[in-house]
């Protein structure tokens, strides 16, 4: 019991509300087991009533750091549980993300067992695969505010200013329990043996490494990059977990399409044969691409007053997604190749059925 009280005091002195709550719950359980149910209930009632953010967190959110030259904020603070992130991941990625969340949520127990781990995760993969969504999801699941720093936005032609901004970001994140999310991480974490980089930028990287090493245990570190091959080897070693966020597999594509079309009249999600075709057509699409494409169809259906989205419309949208000018003949043949009826092709291509037949009869 004395250990729990000591940890509660530590949490109070370091403004770590989560540690206070976790060890207060443990203390309440011990008191209840020893027969002091009245005191246990009082402790649990205090925890339940503590629904507002700590004063330290509120003060920190009012003191967001600014760039000295532009006077613009260099981080964005997203309060914990501010939104529900609808995230679809492959089974492997989802399992690894949940493993990391469990490490964060059980950090006090791990510390008691002598495992004082740095809670850090490096996310890498192609653009639009969900790295930012994962950061928001981890924030929601851990109850910690998300401090977002887009590092490509703080890199200045005056590299001394870049180092100062970097230090401000880490000092701010260290002032409260939070998740520090370094987006576009490769903007400043490039390998120091890159011959194209200046000596001053290499000193910025050294500063980055020092700042990471000095982060308090109350701060969780996330970083994301589209170019993992550019990162300095020492940067890689600073992360407890590294996770490649790959393009969605077939099951993930089905989940994304089904989720996005819920609330709309879209019978295609119940047709396994057509869904198999769509998953093949979408295999090179990132989750962001799929959502953007389907959102355009949803907007059109709402404006048209139907809220209907057909298989044929989705196939056409996939073909047209890149926005490049294409021949109408190729469009017609593409739709026909994937089972779209000639009458539907004539509507989608805005030509007569006879013209459709003529195009399809050409060798």
Q: Is 145 exposed, middle or buried (0-12, 13-18, 19+ CB in 10 A)?
A: buried
Which of helix, strand or coil describes residue 66?
strand
The pTM (predicted TM-score) of the whole model is 0.76
Do 146 and 181 meet the contact criterion of CB atoms below 8 Å apart? yes
Domains of the chain: 1-51 (no CATH), 56-244 (3.40.50.300), 250-361 (no CATH)
pLDDT at 362 over 60: yes
Asked if residue 111 has pLDDT above 80, the reply is no
pLDDT tens, residue by residue, 198-210:
566 777 888 899 9
DSSP 158: S
Residue 151 is predicted with a pLDDT of 81
160-179 pLDDT, tens digit per residue, is 678 888 899 999 999 889 99
What is the average pLDDT score of the chain?
A: 85
Instruction: Write down the pLDDT at residue 357.
Output: 94
Strands (DSSP E) found in the chain? 76-78, 120-124, 146-150, 178-183, 219-225, 241-244
Residue 313 has pLDDT above 90, yes or no: yes
pLDDT of residue 57: 54
- CA nearest 269: which of 279, 281, 284? 279
Averaged over 63-72, what is the pLDDT? 78
Instruction: Report the alpha-carbon distance of residue 181 to residue 244 in Å, rounded.
Output: 16
Lowest mean pLDDT of 83-87, 157-161, 246-250, 324-328, name the range: 157-161
Residue 53 has pLDDT above 50, yes or no: no
Which residue from 129, 125, 122 is spatially nearest to 226, judged by alpha carbons? Answer: 125
Q: Which two tokens stand for residue 126?
A: 């192609």
Q: Which of 19-28, 84-93, 108-117, 325-334 has the highest average model confidence (pLDDT)?
A: 325-334
The residue behind tokens 């469009």 is 331
Kindly tell me if the per-residue pLDDT of 52 is higher than 50.
no
Mean pLDDT score, 112-120: 80
Report the C-alpha gap between 252 and 94 in whole angstroms.
11
SS3 label, residue 118: coil
Question: What is the mean predicted confidence (pLDDT) over 56-64?
Answer: 61
Higher pLDDT, 347 or 112: 347
- What confidence score (pLDDT) does residue 51 get? 47
Percent of the chain with pLDDT over 70: 86
- Vertex 149, ends 127 and 286: CA angle to 5°? 15
Average pLDDT of the segment spanning 295-307: 93
pLDDT score of 186: 84
């Amino acid at each position: 019991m004395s250990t729990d009280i000591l940890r509660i005091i530590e949490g109070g002195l370091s403004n770590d509300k989560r540690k206070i709550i976790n060890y207060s719950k443990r203390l309440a359980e011990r008191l209840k087991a020893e027969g002091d149910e009245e005191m246990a209930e009082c402790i649990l009632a205090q925890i339940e009533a503590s629904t507002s953010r700590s004063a330290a967190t509120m003060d920190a959110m009012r003191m967001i750091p600014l760039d000295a030259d532009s006077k613009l904020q260099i981080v964005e603070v997203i309060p914990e549980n501010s939104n529900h992130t609808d995230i679809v991941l492959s089974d492997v990625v989802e399992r690894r993300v949940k493993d990391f969340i469990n490490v964060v949520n059980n950090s006090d127990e791990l510390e008691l067992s002598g495992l004082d781990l740095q809670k850090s995760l490096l996310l890498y993969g192609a653009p639009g695969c969900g790295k930012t969504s994962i950061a928001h999801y981890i924030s929601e699941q851990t109850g910690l505010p998300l401090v977002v720093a887009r590092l490509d936005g703080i890199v200045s032609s005056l590299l001394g200013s870049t180092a100062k901004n970097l230090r401000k970001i880490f000092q701010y994140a260290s002032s409260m329990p939070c998740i520090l999310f370094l987006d576009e991480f490769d903007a400043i974490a490039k390998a120091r043996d890159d011959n194209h980089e200046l000596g001053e930028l290499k000193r910025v990287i050294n500063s980055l490494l020092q700042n990471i090493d000095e982060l308090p245990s109350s701060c969780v570190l996330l970083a994301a990059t589209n170019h993992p091959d550019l990162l300095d080897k020492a940067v890689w070693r600073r992360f407890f977990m590294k996770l490649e966020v790959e393009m969605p597999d077939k099951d993930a594509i089905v989940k994304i399409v089904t989720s996005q079309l819920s609330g709309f009249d879209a019978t295609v999600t119940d047709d396994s044969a057509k869904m198999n075709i769509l998953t093949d057509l979408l295999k090179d699409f990132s989750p962001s691409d799929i959502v953007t494409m389907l959102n355009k169809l949803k907007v059109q259906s709402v404006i048209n007053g139907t809220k209907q989205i057909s298989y044929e419309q989705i196939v056409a949208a996939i073909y047209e997604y890149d926005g490049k000018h294409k021949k109408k003949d190729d469009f017609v043949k593409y739709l026909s190749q994937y089972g779209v009826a000639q009458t539907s092709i004539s509507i989608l291509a805005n030509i007569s059925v006879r013209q459709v037949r003529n195009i399809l009869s050409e060798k």
